[in-house]
Amino acid sequence: VELAWRTLLHFLRTGELPDGSVIQLNTDSEVDVRFEPAERRVRLTRGEAHFTVASSPQRPFIVSAAGVDVRVVGTVFNVRLRSESVDVLVTEGKVRVGSATEPALRAMASPPAPVLSELTAGQKVSIALPTLAAPVATAPVAVPPAEIKQVLAWQARRLDFDAAPLADIVGEINRYNRHKLVIADERLTAQRFGGSFPAGDSDTLVRMLEANFGVIAERNGGETRLRLKPAP
């Protein structure tokens, strides 16, 4: 069985695989699914996906992303492919993160890389890229429930932030909106803010910044430029 699933830039998608496992794709994400007698493999080629895996001890479930394999039997976990890392969060069960085992990718790794990390429920790991050139074992980090909720807030079409730099907030908000926010004042870039915002509603964030933090929002066509008010 081979499937190719993609999400458009501003839409989420949930689908059930032939074995009963469920994939939820974040916006602007893409996976290729290949089920064979000995294994179930999903390649995350862009974006972020959440997996609820049906248990099958004789047929492991493997998620590949940029040369990193996340191998499980039955569990619940989230994988995000960034330009600089592959981020894995486990909420149920246990996973093993290692170098890719597909023949084409395995041939590129010499010598083969060791297991990079083993995670159980409530743990996360971020594997720096590129892993094929210099894979490094990485210890998992315990994640408090509040942070897990924040990481997975996209599933409910919300984005949660806790003292995050405005540059990070704008980057996430822009993933879900055609109308883009632009930080036009470098003094704002590293300022930190928190809150919970609808993923598809950048206006809520803009109104908060205007009302409480001395920000001027200049709306023009397909973008809104953010800058601080001039000093009196």
Q: Are strands 223-228 and 180-183 parallel, antiparallel or unpaired?
A: parallel
The per-residue pLDDT for range 35-71, each reduced to its tens digit, is 888 889 999 999 999 999 998 888 889 999 988 899 9
CA distance 104 to 59: 21
Question: Do residues 156 and 182 touch, judged by C-beta distance below 8 A?
Answer: no
CA distance 173 to 82: 16
pLDDT at 115: 76
Give the model's confidence band at 136: pLDDT under 50 very low, under 70 low, under 90 confident, else very high: low
Q: What are phi and psi of 11, to 5 degrees?
A: -130, 145
Q: Is residue 215 scored above 50 in pLDDT?
A: yes
Beta bridge partners of residue 33, listed in sequence order: 3, 42
What angle do helix axes 166-175 and 202-212 make, rounded to 10 degrees?
A: 150
Closest CA to 72 of 33, 119, 105, 4: 119
Q: What is the pTM of this model?
A: 0.75
